[in-house]
Amino acid sequence: MSNARNTYMTRGTGLLIASLVLSCCSSPKPTSVPPAAPAPTLWGDMKPVVSVKELMRDMIDPLADNIFDAVKVETTRSGTVEHLPKTDADWEKIRVGAVTLAEGIYLLKVPRPFAPPGDENNSQGADASELSPAQIRAKLEADPVLWNAKIEALRNVGLEVLEIVKNRKADELWEAGDNLDQACESCHLQYWYPGDTALLQKIDRGLRELDERTRPAGRSGSRR
């Protein structure tokens, strides 16, 4: 009986030691990494219909006026009159402009001609003040990140105005209109009528500040 008990204890001790050795020698299982979220894709193909110049003239510019004209001061013989949105229709018009700007400006990411056939802008002759479509394309292809940053700057203003409309803060439309003007000029000075470099740098600083204010937490800023 004593020998059997000793044999049982010896076997039990051996099994325990073997289990400990195997446990120490086994490599830990690697921590599973969740799969990365798939990149967003379009639901279908996008085929441009008009040039950049026509898209801006016929869609973006007219609806941007809904924001530019939302607040203004008019001088009359009787004095100055300040115009602010007051009715639901007033705010709806501003919202349409903001949605068109925030969504429509992304159409500039779709490759398309920069001007209609035969339109070279005011790029020829001694008084040429604008870049030709070929020159604009060359600038974009040399630095596509900058092109997309200009688009994002305009989109940021659209998002800013949507938030203003949501909260109906009419006084904030003054600054939003100024931000929109700066975003437009920054793009034009870069790709349409290059001009004062110092002015462009000043405008871009203001746009970077706007980006900091409108950027969601954790999102890195875009270059301008």
Task: Give Cα 166 to chain centroid, integer Å.
Answer: 20
Alpha helices in 126-172 (DSSP H): 133-142, 144-167
Identity of the highest mean pLDDT range in 21-25, 121-125, 131-135: 131-135
Mean pLDDT of 61-76: 94
- 222 falls in which pLDDT band (50, 70, 90)? very low
Q: Phi and psi for 43 in degrees, rounded to 5?
A: -80, -5
CA dihedral 70, 97, 177, 147 (to 10 degrees): -170
Least Cα distance to 106 among 143, 162, 176, 59 occurs for: 59
Question: Minimum mean pLDDT among 21-25, 40-44, 68-72, 170-174: which range?
Answer: 21-25
Q: Which two tokens stand for residue 33?
A: 């990494």
pTM of the model: 0.71
pLDDT above 60 for 159: yes
Sequence-distant contacts of 166-172: CB under 8 A, at least 24 apart? 168/85, 168/91, 170/71, 170/84, 170/85
Q: What's the confidence (pLDDT) of residue 22?
A: 46
Quote the pLDDT of residue 207: 60
Residue range 204-220: average pLDDT?
58
For the ranges 23-27, 60-64, 147-151, 217-221, the lowest mean pLDDT is seen at 217-221
Looking at residue 4, its pLDDT comes to 47
Q: Are 105 and 155 in contact (CB under 8 A)?
A: yes
- pLDDT at residue 67 in the model: 97
Q: At 36, is the pLDDT very low, low, confident or very high (cuts 50, 70, 90)?
A: confident
Res 20: pLDDT: 45
Closest to 158 (Cα-Cα) out of 166, 138, 76: 166
Quick one: which of 142, 135, 156, 134 has its CA closest to 214? 156
Residue 146 has pLDDT above 90, yes or no: yes
Specify the pLDDT at position 42.
87
Rounded CA Rg of the chain: 31
Quick one: pLDDT at residue 90? 98
